[in-house]
Amino acid sequence: MNEYALGQGLWEMGFAAAVPFTLVALSAMAVLLADLWLLPSQKRALPWAALAGVLLSAASVAFLWNEEATGFGGAIRLDRFSAFFAMVFLLGTGLVVLLSSAYARREGVERGEYYALLLFGTSGAMLMASAVELVTFFLGLEILSVSLYVLSGFFRQRPASAEAAAKYFILGAFASAFLLYGIALFYGASGSTTYAALRESFGSAAFPYSHGLLALAASGLLLIGLAFKLGAVPFHMWVPDTYEGAPTTITAYMSVVSKAAAAAAFIRVFGASLSSLQQDTSAVLWVLAVVTMTLGNVVAIAQTNIKRMLAYSSIAHAGYLLVALTAAGEAGYSSVLFYVLAYVFMTLGAFGVVSLVRKGEGGADAGAEALDISHYSGLAGRHGLLAAAMAVFMVSLSGIPPTAGFFAKFYVFSAAVRAGEVGLAIIGVLNSLVSVYFYMRIVFLMYMKEETVPVRGSRSRAGWVALAACVLGTLLLGVLPSSFARLATESIASIF
Amino acid sequence: MNGFPLVSVVTFLPLAGAAVIAFVGSDRLRAIRSVALVAALADFLLSVPLLTRFTGSSAGMQFVEKVPWVGAIGASYHVGVDGISLFLVLLTTFLTVLSVAASWYSIASRVKGFMMAMLLLETGMIGVFVSLDLLLFYVFWEAMLIPMYLIIGMWGGPRRVYAAVKFIIYTLAGSLLMLVGILVLYFMHHGATGEYTFDLLRLYGTAIPRGVELWLFLAFFISFAIKVPMFPFHTWLPDAHVEAPTAGSVLLAGVLLKMGTYGVLRFCFPLFPAASVAAAPVVSVLAVVGIIYGALVAFAQKDVKRLVAYSSVSHLGLVMLGLFAFNAQGLEGGILQMVNHGISTGALFLIVGMLYERRHSRMMEDFGGLWKTMPVFAGLFMVVTLSSIALPGLNGFAGEFLVLVGVFLKSVPFAAFAALGMILSAVYMLWMFQQVMFVEPRKRDAPALADVTAREKWILIPIVILVFWIGIWPGFFLSRMHASVDAVLARVWSAGLAGEVARDAGGRGGAAAPDVLQAVSTEAAPDSASAGMTPDVGE
């Protein structure tokens, strides 16, 4: 068999579908190996190696952009949908790597494992988005989760970090168990674990009633598992502690990649395969959306730690995503995709600023992270650019135009109104109003208060590049959302 | 000027100016101020052709530009001006120049940020007035809040943060509900016609069930009522006004409040005509309450700036009353009064700012007897005060008289209350003028204040010219409004309510009703017919 035929054979087996995340996983291993050979003084090369892996994988996704393939016995699928999410994950990972390059060194966690685990996590997320079979999806979820358990406890010396990891792990394990039980029930009801089989079994109106009950129970369990990953109320207990204790760059990664991956899996399972159950799920989702938005926004007001505030804000944003998922339909799901993309820029940007702001000279703990929101007082006077960037992200997170956050919410609420959920849209906009209060408080502190604790911004060039990219992305999506929205619609169309 | 995107240039030139300032070092104050002034001035000069090339006889949008923006959902970058928005755009560019000039020295800290915020605000304000696409309008409407929030919060008085937060939360509360309203309207239009569009002119024709229409009207109207602000949504205004720096107050009173009344005229009336007519009695009562209440509270103030702020509540109540009279006099008077209020109240805030710069106080008791040492200032102040209380021959009279005529045609009791409000406004304004300028100074040891500087003189003189221009020749302005106003009225009337309104107006023997009905029946608004409807004040 010559090489060409081998390639041809692999292609026909759908190997193409595995290329993007395999490349990320391989780069992870390369980073691990490189870590063994590099001298301590050369460890600075690690983030660039990881970034190279991300870019390589992104190039492969771009190359396969118009391809469609199903591989490994119908376990994974490459389509516009998985390509879109792969790009989102890779974008998020790339930005996190850039932000980490200075942060990890300063915090003394610059080791090969850090970047390798980031890349492994990303490969897991990509697997989740491209899986069309429940066990494969679970595999992806676990790869992502295990990486995150370790990463959130990466400050081994700090109790808060250990607490973050322990809480995340224990509750995450619970959630995985629910999920797995749901998968088992699906298997029992339909005799298969592929999404296609699910659609066939439950898609026709004529499936036996007992199977219908099984499917409902299975959906409920699966929903719990995904809601945990999304950080939706009442499965959100881990979010504030984990977000606060984990290294800031990892928090950023978690809030973006993990949430997006859960949303992707949700759309594939519930949107594309179990749409016949939509009436039952949407009632549950409606309630989840309302309590998630409301609790997230209201509790965020009371926070004094900026990471905790952003944690509750991320719960609230999970609520907006749930509004879109409740609305369902192509409009609802494509608004999820747009939201996720906007969310990458604005949330990573906000956490990025947090990771760059440090306590200044004079205090006992100079150079430590400045995490209290009072540290942001007067930031505009000393670090105009940093403050301006943060202001853009805060405006965007509160959904005020002309920023990405506005159109993200606009698409979500317009999907809700289109689906006839005007009440949900009204609750959503009122929640946005609440959120303005605590996001604008950061702007107010930065611009309208005098400095209380001296702080300084890191001069990390890589970090600044990442921030600039986030600002540009936030504004671009806010002024010219058209082509990105079209991308989202096409991606959704590819799975229906 | 075919093909030249005049409206877009006027809208975005300030933004470009702000971008230029971003690259000027923050310690080069003179350069920053000059760039801001040049940008504002250039923008004003560019906006003048909008007036000179405007065709007054046409009701349609002029200088229209339309390109797809978010094509998939039917949103386009669609801008243009008509007889309603034309003068508000000019007012915006005019007042921004004066505001920048007035902030020349009074803003001494973080000048760069201030001037950028002013120019960004200008782009947002003009954008609101020229947008003909609901989504575009909404983007400008909200985007403009951020610079205003910063202007109040960063350069304001002692309670600036409270005022800034109150301002942004109040306004957003209304506008977010309007967003849901916009979406519902958008999908209803799609349901009726199968077309997805945010184009205002296309949405005008949407048939909406009566029950839904009232809710949509409320979603839009409350947002505008907060901005105006109408009683009982007015509580953010005194705080915002008092704490804002002079330039912020000028633009807040001069332009931002007009967005509310403009919104009612541009969106509520044509989109929800039946609901607008149905709501008119309630709105009129609230407007009257606002007129009287604002006037009484203004009379009780010791702080000149607070007095002017409450007078805005009263004056804008009158504008709303005129608009909801649904006749040509009321509407045209309302629009003219929007412009007048922008000029007079803007000038009053500028004057208060000049006083504050001299004595660092705004309390009436700290002044008195200023006419001796500041004769030129006294004269200018006097003209502005008289313009605000509608002395015949000055701009306020032209607007308020038309509003009164319009309201009178609709309802005599409402007209009586409106007239009472005008009398009260004369009382508190003249009392304030007396306290500040004439009475014996209560603080004898206070040093005499210097008269206006050349810069201040050149800020106030253009205003005085306008005050006389509008007062003596209102026809110049009104003639450019007729066609557009008639188009709005025609839409309200053709909504199957002609009978209801005709009974109202006809019973009073109003001359307007037949004319408007005629305009409806012929679909076009003949300039001669509509010109005859309006008594040409002072011409």
The stretch B221-230 carries a mean pLDDT of 91
- Write down the pLDDT at residue B288: 93
Q: How far is A396 from chain B (nearest CA, A)?
A: 11
The stretch B189-212 carries a mean pLDDT of 85
Residue-wise pLDDT for B311-333, tens only, equals: 999 999 999 999 999 888 999 99
- Taking a C-beta distance cutoff of 8 angstroms, is the pair B390, B424 a contact? no
Residue-wise pLDDT for A321-356, tens only, equals: 999 999 988 889 999 999 999 999 999 999 999 999
CA angle A260, A266, A272 (to 5 degrees): 125
Cβ burial of B282 (10 Å; 0-12, 13-18, 19+) is exposed
Q: Which of A400, A414, A482 sits opposite B69 (nearest CB)?
A: A482
Interface contact A482-B72, CB threshold 8 A:
yes
Phi, psi of A78 (to 5 degrees): -105, 120
* Whether pLDDT at B488 is above 50: yes
* Whether pLDDT at A9 is above 80: no
* Whether pLDDT at B399 is above 70: yes
Residue-wise pLDDT for A111-141, tens only, equals: 888 999 999 999 999 999 999 999 999 999 9
- Write down the pLDDT at residue B500: 54
Of the candidate ranges A248-262, A268-282, A376-390, A458-472, the one whose mean pLDDT is the lowest:
A268-282
Q: How confident is the model at residue B522 (pLDDT cuts 50, 70, 90)?
A: very low
- Write down the pLDDT at residue A282: 86
- Taking a C-beta distance cutoff of 8 angstroms, is the pair A230, A259 a contact? yes
Q: Which of B143, B161, B187 sits opposite A448 (nearest CB)?
A: B161
* Whether pLDDT at A72 is above 50: yes
Residue-wise pLDDT for B161-178, tens only, equals: 888 888 888 889 888 889
The stretch B343-356 carries a mean pLDDT of 91
* Whether pLDDT at A410 is above 50: yes
What DSSP assignment string belongs to A304-350? -BHHHHHHHHHHHHHHHHHHHHHH-HHHHHHHHHHHHHHHHHHHHHH
Judged by a CB distance cut-off of 8 A, whether residue A448 touches chain B is: yes
- Write down the pLDDT at residue A176: 93
Q: How confident is the model at residue A208 (pLDDT cuts 50, 70, 90)?
A: low
Which residues, 6+ apart, have CB-to-CB distance to A384 below 8 Å? B26
Residue B146: its chain A contacts at CB < 8 A?
Answer: 395, 400
Look at A304 and B497; give whichever has higher pLDDT: A304
* Whether pLDDT at A210 is above 70: no
Phi, psi of A338 (to 5 degrees): -65, -40
Phi, psi of B389 (to 5 degrees): -95, 15
Residue A349: which of A482, A224, A256 has the closest Cα?
A256
* Whether pLDDT at A427 is above 90: yes
Task: State the Cα–Cα distance between residues A461 and A356, nearest whole angstrom.
Answer: 11
- Taking a C-beta distance cutoff of 8 angstroms, is the pair B259, B186 a contact? no
Q: How confident is the model at residue B515 (pLDDT cuts 50, 70, 90)?
A: very low
Judged by a CB distance cut-off of 8 A, whether residue A486 touches chain B is: yes
Judged by a CB distance cut-off of 8 A, whether residue B70 touches chain A is: yes
Q: If you ran DSSP here, which 8-state letter would residue B254 be given?
A: I
B 145-164 near A (Cβ less than 8 A): 145-146, 149-150, 153-154, 160-161, 164
Residue B233: which of B248, B216, B218 has the closest Cα?
B218
* Whether pLDDT at B355 is above 60: yes
Look at B521 and B262; give whichever has higher pLDDT: B262
- Write down the pLDDT at residue B507: 41
Distance of CA A460 to the CA centre of its chain: 24
Q: How confident is the model at residue A203 (pLDDT cuts 50, 70, 90)?
A: low
Minimum Cα–Cα distance from B110: chain A residue:
A381
Q: Which of B113, B135, B173 sits opposite A433 (nearest CB)?
A: B173
Q: How confident is the model at residue A307 (pLDDT cuts 50, 70, 90)?
A: very high
Q: How confident is the model at residue A66 (pLDDT cuts 50, 70, 90)?
A: confident
* Whether pLDDT at B18 is above 60: yes
Interface contact B73-A447, CB threshold 8 A:
no
- Domain limits of chain A? 16-493
What does the mean pLDDT of chain B come to? Answer: 85
Look at B12 and B510; give whichever has higher pLDDT: B12
- Taking a C-beta distance cutoff of 8 angstroms, is the pair A138, A180 a contact? yes
Look at B129 and A275; give whichever has higher pLDDT: B129
- Domain limits of chain B? 131-508
Q: How confident is the model at residue A364 (pLDDT cuts 50, 70, 90)?
A: low
- Write down the pLDDT at residue B524: 37
- Write down the pLDDT at residue A362: 67
Residue B41: how many other CB atoms lie within 10 Å: 15
**What Cα–Cα distance (Å) separates residue B166 from each residue in A285, A441, B156?**
33, 12, 14
Of the candidate ranges A40-44, A425-429, B5-9, the one whose mean pLDDT is the lowest:
A40-44
Judged by a CB distance cut-off of 8 A, whether residue B169 touches chain A is: yes
The stretch B290-299 carries a mean pLDDT of 93
Residue of B69, B179, B186, B198 to mutate, testing the A interface (most A Cβ within 10 Å of its Cβ)? B179
Interface contact B146-A425, CB threshold 8 A:
no
Residue-wise pLDDT for B451-463, tens only, equals: 888 888 888 999 9
Instruction: Give this prediction's pTM.
Output: 0.90
Residue-wise pLDDT for A19-47, tens only, equals: 899 999 999 999 999 888 888 888 888 89
Interface contact B177-A426, CB threshold 8 A:
yes
* Whether pLDDT at B431 is above 80: yes
Task: State the Cα–Cα distance between residues B88 and B459, nearest whole angstrom.
Answer: 19
**What Cα–Cα distance (Å) separates residue A311 from each residue in A86, A155, A266, A350, A438?**
24, 19, 21, 11, 13
ipTM value: 0.90
- Write down the pLDDT at residue A249: 93
Q: How confident is the model at residue A368 (pLDDT cuts 50, 70, 90)?
A: confident
Interface contact B176-A430, CB threshold 8 A:
yes
Which sign does the torsion angle of CA B212, B216, B217, B222 carry?
positive
Report whether the peptide linkage leading into residue A234 is cis, meaning its omega lies within 30 degrees of zero: yes
Q: If you ran DSSP here, which 8-state letter would residue A277 be given?
A: G
Judged by a CB distance cut-off of 8 A, whether residue A485 touches chain B is: yes
* Whether pLDDT at B503 is above 50: no
Task: State the Cα–Cα distance between residues A214 and A187, nearest whole angstrom.
Answer: 10
* Whether pLDDT at A430 is above 50: yes
- Write down the pLDDT at residue B13: 93
- Taking a C-beta distance cutoff of 8 angstroms, is the pair A413, A491 a contact? no
* Whether pLDDT at B135 is above 70: yes
Phi, psi of A457 (to 5 degrees): -95, 140
Interface contact A413-B180, CB threshold 8 A:
yes
Of the candidate ranges A257-266, B52-61, B196-205, B524-533, the one whose mean pLDDT is the lowest:
B524-533
Which residues, 6+ apart, have CB-to-CB distance to A469 below 8 Å? A95, A345
Residue of A426, A448, A490 to mutate, testing the B interface (most B Cβ within 10 Å of its Cβ)? A448
The stretch B284-292 carries a mean pLDDT of 93
Q: How far is A335 from chain B (nearest CA, A)?
A: 12
N- to C-terminal Cα separation, chain B: 31
- Write down the pLDDT at residue B202: 85
* Whether pLDDT at A3 is above 80: no
**pLDDT > 90: percent of chain A:** 58
* Whether pLDDT at B214 is above 60: yes
The stretch A397-406 carries a mean pLDDT of 91
Q: Which of B69, B153, B169 sits opposite A444 (nearest CB)?
A: B153
**Helix, strand and coil in chain B, % to nearest 5:** 75, 5, 20
- Write down the pLDDT at residue B514: 41
* Whether pLDDT at A287 is above 90: yes
How many A-B residue pairs are in contact by the CB < 8 A criterion? 84
Interface contact B143-A448, CB threshold 8 A:
no
Q: How confident is the model at residue B194 (pLDDT cuts 50, 70, 90)?
A: confident
* Whether pLDDT at A89 is above 80: yes
* Whether pLDDT at B130 is above 80: yes
Q: How confident is the model at residue B496 (pLDDT cuts 50, 70, 90)?
A: low
Of the candidate ranges A294-298, A361-365, A484-488, the one whose mean pLDDT is the lowest:
A361-365
Q: How far is A387 from chain B (nearest CA, A)?
A: 12
